[in-house]
Structure 1
Amino acid sequence: MESSGNREPATARSPLWHWLAQAAAATVLVTAYFLLPLNGLGPRHPTLSWTLFGLILALIAALLLQQINHVLINHPHARPGLVIPLLMSLSILVFATAYQGLAQRPGELIGLDTRLDALYFTMVTLATVGYGDITPHSQTARLVTMLQILYTFIFLTAAATALSHRIRTVLLHRRTDHHHKP
């Protein structure tokens, strides 16, 4: 039974498969973040570092916008439940990597010494909690922090909204299908 319109195909994978795929992807991303030798980035190669930072963020933004568009037009093969969380996680790790690179220069980010500190600061900034234990002191660090806040407002909020819209739509159709079965 193939469905039409806004409905998921009858052969769609189970929700457990989606959760396992997301957990595996997140594990790979976080493991790569902690294990990849990224110390060559930062003040030793600023042009390369800033170019990669800008290109990767632009690519993630473009892919997020594509997924948002797929949700809005109800693209039949869209899988935003898998792709959007992956892209959101990747953007968080890109900002954490940028903060770690900035922290290699003394005085940039006071209190940020490790990759875990950089990830922590990224998450605290994302959540707009701002504990104050790590602070951007240089103009560059403050610029990257403001860029993360804007990026979050524009891309991550739109992606999360599209994802929640998609989830509501799927759940509504499942409930409607369940009530209309003979």
Structure 2
Amino acid sequence: MESSHHRERATARNTLWRWLTQAVAAAVLVTAYFLLPIDDLGPRRPTLSWTLFGLTLALIATLLIQQIGHVLLDHPHARPGLVIPLLMSLSILVFATAYQALAQHPGELIGLDTRLDALYFTLVTLATIGYGDITPHGQAARLVAILQILYTFIFLTAAATALSHQLRTVLLRRRTDHHPEP
């Protein structure tokens, strides 16, 4: 009985540690988004901007697919509860950075003036709310909005599904461990 109690406490500590790690990592990502000197991206360096945008999204998608595979194959060393939310957050920040860079070109994104505006627009687009206060008028901004919608539909939805599957599996295991069938 005592070993069961120790296991439960260890599990609780691990869960708390994971949440704390995620919170710190998310805070670091958001802080970096607001502080990194990305103002040179956009219309002044279009080739570099589009290359970084494409490569970064491809890398995040690859890592997400790897984590999704770990969940589906029940890989013993998988940490999707830690990695997937960070990759999802990073993809959101990449799109926000792209919108911020595009907004430097007059007429591309109407109503987007700051990095907070860009993050807000990214989340509004992700949630498919569309308040209409920020609108993509230029072709490049519309292309990035389309890419964000497709990226969300394919990768972020699959990642959220994998997290849900992982959570369900963990809860079923805990339930079975606490209430073994006779």
Give the length in aligned residue pairs: 173
Summarize the alignment of residues 85-96 of structure 1 with structure 2, pairs less than 5 Å apart: 85-96=85-96
Match of 2:6 in 1: none
Mapped partners of 1:20, 1:171: distance in 2: 20
In angstroms, what is the RMSD of aligned CA positions?
A: 1.6
Show structure 2 runs of 5+ residues with no match: 1-8
Q: Distance in 1 between matches of 2:10 and 2:64?
A: 25
State the percentage of identical aligned residues: 81
* Unaligned runs of at least 5 residues, structure 1: 1-9
AA matched with 1:48: L
Deviation of 1:11 (Å): 6.6
**Residue 155 (1) aligns with residue 155 (2):** yes
Which residue of structure 2 lines up, in the alignment, with residue 81 of structure 1? 81
Letter matched to residue 45 of structure 1: R
Which residue number corresponds to residue 5 of structure 2? none
Looking at structure 2, the residues matched to 164 and 23 of structure 1 have their Cα atoms a distance apart, in angstroms, of: 19
Q: 1:174: which partner in 2?
A: 174
Task: Supply the distance in 1 between the matched residues of 2:118 and 2:133 (Cα, whole angstroms).
Answer: 12
Q: Does 1:64 align with 2:64?
A: yes
Could you tell me which amino acid in structure 2 is paired with residue 66 of structure 1?
Q
Give, as a single letter, the amino acid of the residue that structure 2 aligns with 1:164: S
CA displacement 1:34-91 (0-9 Å, x = unmatched):
0000001111110000000000000000000000000000000000000000000000
> Which residue number in structure 1 is paired with residue 128 of structure 2?
128
Residue equivalent to 2:25: 25
Structure 1 runs of 4+ with >4 Å offset: 10-13
- Deviation (angstroms), 1:122: 0.1
Deviations for 1:106-148, whole angstroms, at most 9, x for unmatched residues?
Answer: 0000000000000000000000000000000011100100000
Distance in structure 2 (CA, Å) of the matches to 1:167 and 1:14: 15
Bigger relative contact order (CA 8 A; separation at least 6): 1
**2:165 alignment counterpart:** 165
Q: For 1:156, what is the secondary structure of its paired residue?
A: helix
| 10-19 vs 66-75, which moves further | 10-19
Per-residue deviation at 1:180?
2.5
| Distance across 1 between alignment mates of 2:29 and 2:164 | 23
Which TM-score applies when normalising by structure 1? 0.92
Equivalent AA in structure 2 for residue 100 of structure 1: Q
